[in-house]
Amino acid sequence: MRKESEDSKRLDETFRILNDRINYVYQFVMLYNSYIMSEHDYGTGHMVTMIEAHTLTYIEENPGTTVTELAKYWNKTKGALSQTVTRLVNKGLVSRHKTEQNAKTVLLYPTEDGRRLSQAHRLYNTIDISKTLNDLLKDCTMEEIDSFYKVLGSYIKLLKNDFE
């Protein structure tokens, strides 16, 4: 009975320590998710979510890409990316073109407004990421920030492996 009580205490203590650590990840993911789902004007008058802006920039950098390629790149379902692309099309930022070889294959291209927004988004991100880095450097060293990104990269690999 005493051994069970000691084991239970050790388990509770271990859980508390691990849970306190992983709660940082949960809080970050929830806050960041809210941030990327909210709409922003990157300076062109078009209101888009961060997901839409990054999808648009991918399309601009890879003209003629498909929803299938986007889904693979972003590790999302084709249905989810199709919805994002439809919103971009409805906002006049992306156009769809069927190929002559295969009517089922739809290629995606940025419109002129889409190119302008993608460029504005790049400028915004460059400034915002630089500002964020400067803010982080108030509490962290560059080595700690580099380590964070290394750990984040490894964590992404683990998560992708879990989904395969």
CA distances from 124 to 111, 120, 160 (A): 20, 6, 29
Continuous segment of H or E residues that includes residue 109: strand 106-110
Q: Do 56 and 17 have their domain in common?
A: no
Q: Classify each residue of 18-38 as buried b or exposed e, where b means 16 or more C-beta atoms within 10 Å of its C-beta.
A: eeeeeeeeeeeeeeeeeeeee
Domain of 52, CATH number, reads 1.10.10.10
> What is the number of domains present in the chain?
2
Which amino acid is it at 75? Answer: N
Does the pTM exceed 0.85?
A: no
Q: Do 56 and 124 have their domain in common?
A: yes
Name the token pair of 53: 């802006």
Q: Do 15 and 77 have their domain in common?
A: no
Domain region containing 84: 41-163
Please answer whether residues 75 and 58 qualify as being in contact, where contact means their C-beta atoms are separated by less than 8 angstroms.
no
Average pLDDT for runs of 10 along the chain of length 164: 78 91 91 91 94 96 96 92 97 92 87 97 95 97 96 90 78
